Amino acid sequence: MSSPAGPPRLHPAARLYAAEARAGRLSRREFLARATGLGLTASTAYGLIGATEPAAAQEARRQGGTLRVQLLVRALKEPRLQDWSEIGNMTRGTYEYLVEYNSDGSFRGMLLSGWDISEDATEYLLHVRDGVTWTNGDPFTAADVARNIAGWCDRSLPGNSMAGRFATLVDPSTRRAAEGAIEVVDPLLVRLTLPRPDISLIAGMSDYPAAITHESFDPADIPGGIGTGPYRIAEHMTGVRCTLERVEGHAWWGTDVYGGPYLDRIEYFDYGTDPATWLAAIEAGEVDMLDESIGDFIDVLDTLDLKKSEVVTAGTVVVRPNQLAEVGGLKPYADVRVRRALQLAVDNSICLELGYGNRGAPAENHHVAPIHPEYAEIPPPEYDPDEARRLLDEAGMRDYEHELFSVDDDWRRNTADAVAAQLRDAGIPVRRTILPSELMQENWNTFPFSTTNWNHRPLGVQILALAYRSGEPWNEFGWSNPEFDAALGDALAIADADRRREVMARLETLIREDGVTIQPYWRALFRHMRPEVVGAEMHVSFEHHHYKWGFAA
């Protein structure tokens, strides 16, 4: 490691990655993800490959104004318990992040000015940005960072998904941060000492449940909480609207670093889950921007006087059985033969066509995407309805009627319909149950057989640790496989993505062989907005970076 003093150093692996990128053996996106994850700034990373950082977001903006946005206005939760990106986007203007992830694959420091990672990924030095203040005037220091990370490690808090992201720091016996794992070196430096390597921590710091809160934070008063961001939540009505306003008298630290904020006010309006109402709202001038443009409505929106933003992602939907679920005294999905039969009866390309209008790419039932640095190419998934019927006959479950739940929206409902139709074509009885958003939100990880949308994550190992490792709050599959858990631990310890790919091939295979999920396709994401809206391009993980938003000057 470098000396605790001074800026982040150039990690030795960065030059190797740059050489691979210059030789064409590493894509620019993958290089940026690897290099900035090690602590390089984007401009330094571009310089290593002889390129110039794009002048992104440089379009002039006028100061002031109100931006009106369509969004599902969900109930607020404290950051560690947030389980939908919409919640994080409403609180993001107040409660900021240590690290920001951008659609080009790069990470950059926000409340951290940078970081150093040891070559074996067992020690992290987190450089706290100097000059940041909370909205009550308190200085932001390393003690705030250490306190929040310790809170992330608290496995005793039900629903705390951050404990999964920081599992390496957690002492299994106390279910809290291991003694000595988090050290405040000085007011602007935190040292993390890991018992074993973990290359996913920086990516985990950028995810939406990782927002930073003040020592006085009260989960019962999220809108009134003290933050470091330029906005406060002035109004929140679940299912109706949420309003963000500039904090008066607060000199935001980011203005001199990244520019902004530009808007005085951001108003979110909830039009429900039917994209037809979103179309009507922007066509009537009720909103300036959609959170997301969906399905066939994209073609209609393209005909209007609107600007479209598009990004390729590892966002997806899973159509999954819950292996722990009990239905009428039976655990239908505890049997791997039943789960495999469901997979074998579904052609993922049909789900992409009927569920998402072919606006993406077929996936392979293991939740690791070609866009992930460590994606391993394994044989494609099988489509074999005859084998599906044979397995169900063998399990004595041929006549069992499955109930497939989905939310009442466009693409998730359509995808579930496509799965159900194919199951019926294979002779597998299934009925569909469609629920309103609030009911699906409350019980999303407990339904016996249902659909859930998953956001893009920077690393394949990151999504596997969140969703597939035994006992994690977001493991909606009810799956527990010690071999998988051990192999995932090995993969998290390998900094080099090419070597990590060797382990990933086994992880992908285990997920598919155990019939954990039907994971049919990867999504391209779209957003339409008025031409004068600037800096609000669709983010690969749906993030709303409010300080970048504005209106053209």
pLDDT in tens, the chain (553 residues): 444 445 556 676 777 777 777 777 777 777 887 778 888 887 888 788 777 776 555 689 999 999 999 999 999 999 999 999 999 999 999 999 999 999 998 999 999 999 999 988 999 999 999 999 999 999 999 999 999 999 999 999 999 999 999 999 999 999 999 999 999 999 999 999 999 999 999 999 999 999 999 999 999 999 999 999 999 999 999 999 999 999 999 999 999 999 999 999 999 999 999 999 999 999 999 999 999 999 889 999 999 999 999 999 999 999 999 999 999 999 999 999 999 999 999 999 999 999 999 999 999 999 999 999 999 999 999 999 999 999 999 999 999 999 999 999 999 999 999 999 999 999 999 999 999 988 898 889 999 999 999 999 999 999 999 999 999 999 999 999 999 999 999 999 998 888 999 999 999 999 999 999 999 999 999 999 999 999 999 999 999 999 999 999 9
DSSP structure string for 462-511: HHHHHHTSTT-TT-TT----HHHHHHHHHHHT--SHHHHHHHHHHHHHHH
Torsion of CA 340, 341, 346, 348, to 10 degrees: 10
* Cα–Cα dist 50/21, whole Å: 10
pLDDT at 50: 77
Which residues, in sequence order, are bridge partners of residue 405?
Answer: 433, 450
Of 544, 532, 55, whose CA–CA distance to 261 is shortest?
544
Q: Distances in Å between the alpha carbon of 299 and those of 302, 304, 316, 526?
A: 5, 9, 21, 11
* Cα–Cα dist 61/211, whole Å: 27
pLDDT at 6: 55
Question: Letter for the amino acid at 30?
Answer: E
Which letter, b or e, does each residue of 337-364 get, where b requires 16 or more Cβ atoms within 10 Å of its Cβ? bbbbbbbbbbbbebbbebbbbebbbbbb
448 neighbors 327 (Cβ within 8 angstroms): yes
* Cα–Cα dist 38/107, whole Å: 9
* Cα–Cα dist 325/334, whole Å: 8
Q: Which two tokens stand for residue 24?
A: 């064409």
Write down the H helix ranges in 230-384: 275-283, 297-302, 336-344, 348-356
pLDDT at 278: 97
- Which residue ranges make up each domain of the chain? 12-55+97-210, 313-524
247: which DSSP letter? P
Torsion of CA 413, 417, 419, 423, to 10 degrees: 150
Phi then psi for residue 317, to 5 deg, are -135, 140
- From the CB of residue 498, how many other CB atoms can be counted at a distance below 10 Å? 12
pLDDT at 3: 41
* Cα–Cα dist 459/34, whole Å: 10
Q: Which two tokens stand for residue 312?
A: 């390729």
Q: Distances in Å between the alpha carbon of 430 and those of 12, 252, 365, 426?
A: 55, 54, 20, 11
Q: Which two tokens stand for residue 227?
A: 């933050």
User: Top-level CATH class of 12-55+97-210?
Assistant: alpha beta
User: What residues have CB less than 8 Å from 264, skipping those under 6 apart?
Assistant: 64, 65, 66, 245, 246
- From the CB of residue 280, how many other CB atoms can be counted at a distance below 10 Å? 12
pLDDT at 58: 67
CA 151 to chain centre: 20
Write down the H helix ranges in 381-494: 385-395, 411-425, 437-443, 460-467, 482-492
Is 313-524 a CATH 3.30.565.10 domain? Answer: no
Q: Distances in Å between the alpha carbon of 239 and those of 67, 290, 291, 309?
A: 19, 16, 15, 26
Mean pLDDT over each residue of the chain, to the nearest integer: 94
